[in-house]
């Protein structure tokens, strides 16, 4: 805390990075500010990050601690799922066993964690608490986690994107091939009616053209196979 002002005048107290909390009729100066996402949405089986950041007026030391707790919906019971002090200690019991990972960095004010293989049973309220002595007074932000199955609309959009990237170019190549084959067939029919005979050079050109058409046809088949394989991996 610093005091400024002329001698004999009124001083002005300056609190850098401080917040004030009114609790039970008492004003409490918060020297540690914590922020977390109020709502996080995730999908079953896909890793979820629970973000938590903090600002402290004191330098980070080995006394800094971070605690994450979980409370199921419609319950007052809380469960400790993660503790940090110089090293990370994820829970070794309960539903979150072997599924909590440390993804934060205390030196940049990051106290985030992640949940692997989330299920609908993980829905609930998560709290992030940080203490950095002598800064121990802080707000307690909570995050409401909602885990759901990926809906049909999400899968449909993925299939649509895959079709645009793979199927549409293949279809265009196929159309061009059919057009060229149609023109070639029409030309041969016209020549046969007039009794036209090809020269050796034209015969050679036709052979090259047939090889080119066969190559394009193989390309179309390959694109179709890629589309089928990518579609199966999506599901």
Between 26 and 157, the higher pLDDT residue? 157
Mean pLDDT of 51-56: 95
The pLDDT tens digits for 181-197 are 777 666 666 666 665 55
Which whole number is the average pLDDT over 80-103?
Answer: 95
Average pLDDT of span 88-105: 95
pLDDT above 80 for 229: no
pLDDT given for residue 165 in this prediction: 65
Query: Which two structure tokens, joined as six digits, stand for 172?
Result: 């265009």
Helices (DSSP H) in the chain: which residue ranges? 152-162, 168-193, 200-234
98 CB contacts (<8 Å, ≥6 apart)?
90, 92
Greater confidence (2 vs 114) lies with: 114
Cβ atoms < 10 Å from Cβ of 24: 5
How far is it, in rounded angstroms, from Cα 94 to Cα 131?
A: 25
CA distances from 235 to 139, 152, 156, 158, 159 (A): 44, 11, 11, 10, 10
> Could you tell me if residue 120 is left (phi over 0), alpha (psi between -120 and 50 degrees) or otherwise beta?
alpha
Q: Would you state the pLDDT for residue 75?
A: 87
């Amino acid at each position: 805390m610093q005091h400024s002002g002329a001698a004999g005048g009124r001083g002005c107290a300056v609190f850098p990075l401080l917040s004030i909390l009114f609790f039970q009729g008492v004003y409490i100066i918060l020297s540690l500010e914590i922020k977390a996402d109020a709502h996080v949405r995730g999908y079953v089986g896909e890793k979820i990050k629970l973000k938590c950041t903090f600002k402290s007026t004191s330098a980070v030391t080995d006394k800094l601690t971070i605690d994450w707790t979980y409370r199921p919906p419609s319950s007052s019971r809380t469960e400790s799922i993660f503790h940090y002090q110089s090293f990370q200690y994820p829970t070794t019991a309960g539903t979150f066993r072997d599924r909590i990972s440390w993804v934060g960095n205390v030196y940049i004010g990051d106290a985030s964690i992640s949940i692997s293989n989330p299920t609908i049973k993980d829905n609930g309220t998560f709290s992030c608490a940080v203490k950095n002595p002598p800064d121990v007074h802080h707000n307690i932000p909570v995050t409401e986690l909602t885990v759901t199955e990926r809906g049909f609309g999400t899968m449909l959009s993925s299939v649509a994107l895959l079709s645009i990237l793979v199927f549409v170019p293949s279809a265009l190549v196929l159309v061009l091939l059919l057009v060229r084959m149609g023109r070639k067939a029409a030309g041969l029919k016209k020549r046969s009616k007039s009794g036209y005979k090809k020269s050796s050079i034209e015969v050679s050109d036709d052979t090259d053209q047939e090889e080119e058409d066969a190559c394009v046809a193989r390309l179309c088949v390959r694109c179709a196979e890629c589309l089928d394989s990518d579609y199966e991996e999506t599901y």
